[in-house]
């Protein structure tokens, strides 16, 4: 079975709780050997919060981890306390960066087979002095990866983003033929990681009605359509650009395997509408497997015993199934 490193995520968020609840789930232990990278003390507090019959067992390396029922092995990363619960903090930002660095290092050295990351706070990272806007950019820097994208996976809808964490008004200036072509290629690579050899890829337009033949915008004719044409000439099963208001319905009903989206909320709004509790984020293009729950730190419900572990469970299951 694969050994999977699970970073604890924001100490003050729901990460510790959803990890505990996920690792109590019987299906997880049948699929992988999980190992948490984080704070043993915070994980103990999460176990007490959930009242589950689990023990936290600190270990020094993946080779020292021997999975047993009723026990969660943790590589204890020493951090500056205290952390703020239900709020971002400088100490938390410094800590989560350390968890991620350690997990990525273990994956690059083949000591673990995949990394699953619990949610972090961009505000905490900023408070700690880091420039990364999120997990994806941090992981790309740590692995020296130039071409990468966020892919989102659920049973009924799968999509990938051309642009990620940028202002909406900056999106049109970023959409060019090279970027769209690269994202189509990453979409094909992501689907092959899922075991789909010849995926049906659909590309969304940027503008309403996919530009309406240039009446509502030129990005489709100037950048998106040429990228699709070249990808198709290279053997990729890709089509579009389709109006954004219909493409997700068609993909949801099985016409397409993957949707290439132009910007963050174009894809994430429909995706979270249908798979908020079960969707999984996959970073495509990295030299390591990385998945994450498709939700944030949820400070509003953190440390109240209310967090739903479903997305974390799915993220761990998917990490155990993916192949580079």
For the chain, the farthest-separated pair of C-alpha atoms sits apart, in whole angstroms, at 63
The pTM for the full model equals 0.95
Task: Please write the tens of the pLDDT for every residue from 83-129.
Answer: 889 999 999 999 999 999 999 999 999 999 999 999 999 999 999 99
Q: Using one digit for the tens of pLDDT, what is the confidence trace for 124-176?
A: 999 999 988 889 999 999 999 999 999 999 999 999 999 998 999 999 999 99
Q: State the first-to-last Cα distance of the chain, in angstroms, to the nearest integer.
A: 16
Give the per-residue pLDDT at 78. Answer: 87
CB-based contact 43:74 (threshold 8 Å): yes
pLDDT of 169 reads 97
The bridge status of strand 2-7 relative to strand 149-153 is unpaired
Residue 276, SS3 per DSSP: coil
- What CA–CA distance (Å, rounded) separates 49 from 71? 16
DSSP state of 224: I
Contact 161, 264 (CB under 8 A): yes
CB atoms within 10 A of CB 132: 19
- Domains of the chain are 2-145+286-321 (3.40.718.10), 149-269 (3.40.718.10)
């Amino acid at each position: 079975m694969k050994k999977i490193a699970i970073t604890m995520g924001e100490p003050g968020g729901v990460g510790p709780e959803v990890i505990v609840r996920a690792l109590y789930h019987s299906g997880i232990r049948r699929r992988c050997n999980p190992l948490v990278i984080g704070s043993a003390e915070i994980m103990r507090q999460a176990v007490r919060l959930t009242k589950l019959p689990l023990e936290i067992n600190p270990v020094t390396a993946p080779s020292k981890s021997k999975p047993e029922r009723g026990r969660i092995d943790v590589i204890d990363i020493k951090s500056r306390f205290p952390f703020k619960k239900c709020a971002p903090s400088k100490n938390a930002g410094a800590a989560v960066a350390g968890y991620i660095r350690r997990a990525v290092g273990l994956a690059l050295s083949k000591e673990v087979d995949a990394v699953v990351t619990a949610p972090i706070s961009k505000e905490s990272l900023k408070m700690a002095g880091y420039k990364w806007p999120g997990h994806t950019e941090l992981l790309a820097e740590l692995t020296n990866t130039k071409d990468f994208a966020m892919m989102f996976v659920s049973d009924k809808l799968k999509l990938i983003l051309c642009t990620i964490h940028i202002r909406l008004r900056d999106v049109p200036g970023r959409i060019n033929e090279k970027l769209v072509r690269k994202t189509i290629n990453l979409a094909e690579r992501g689907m092959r990681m899922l075991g789909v050899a010849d995926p049906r890829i659909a590309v969304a337009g940027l503008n309403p009605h996919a530009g309406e033949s240039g009446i509502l915008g030129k990005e489709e004719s100037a950048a998106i359509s040429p990228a699709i044409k070249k990808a198709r000439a290279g053997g990729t099963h890709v089509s579009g650009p389709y109006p954004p208001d219909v493409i997700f319905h068609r993909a949801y009903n099985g016409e397409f395997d993957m949707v290439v989206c132009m910007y963050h909320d174009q894809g994430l709004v429909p995706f979270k509408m249908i798979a908020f509790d079960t969707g999984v984020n996959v970073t495509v293009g990295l030299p390591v497997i990385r998945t994450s729950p498709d939700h944030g730190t949820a400070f509003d419900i953190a440390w109240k015993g209310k967090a739903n572990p479903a997305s974390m469970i799915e993220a761990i299951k998917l990490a155990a199934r993916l192949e580079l």
